[in-house]
Amino acid sequence: MRDEIRLGNEALAQNDMETAKQHFQHLLDHGGTPMQEQIAGNRLREIQAKQDALRPPPPPAKPPKRRTAAGGKTRHRPGPSSIGLCQA
């Protein structure tokens, strides 16, 4: 299982994240010493963090579109000035 760590580290040195993930995951799936499993788990978390940092941010949410009434005209609600307030 030391080979899996070595191969994973070599893949990381070559920036081959997918191959590195496969080697470290193989070690976790098939078992190793507690130290080897800790190393593999740490490497997998580091790879995930790198991939998350390289992923572009999601596009900003679009503002809601204004709804229009039939005929394409925008409806206007009467404001407080057109309600007919009492003038003293």
Amino acid at 1: M
Identity of the residue numbered 55:
R
Is the separation of the CB atoms in 40 and 8 below 8 Å?
yes
As a whole number of angstroms, the distance between CA 50 and CA 33 comes to: 26
The domain in which residue 24 lies consists of 2-54
Which value, in Å, is the radius of gyration of the alpha carbons in the chain? 30
For 36, other C-beta atoms within 10 Å of its C-beta total 17
Domain assignment of residue 34, yes or no: yes
Note the pLDDT of residue 14.
95
Q: How confident is the model at residue 63 (pLDDT cuts 50, 70, 90)?
A: confident
Within-domain flag for 77: no
pTM for the whole structure:
0.62
Question: In this structure, is residue 21 part of a structural domain?
Answer: yes
What pLDDT is attached to residue 2?
Answer: 83
In the chain, how many domains are there? 1
Q: Is residue 32 part of a domain?
A: yes
Please check whether residue 66 lies inside any domain of the structure.
no
Q: In whole numbers, what is the pLDDT of the chain averaged over residues?
A: 83
Torsion sign across C-alpha atoms 64, 69, 71, 75: negative
Res 58 pLDDT > 60: yes
SS3 79: coil
Is 42 within a domain? yes
How would residue 8 be classed by pLDDT, with cut points 50, 70 and 90? very high
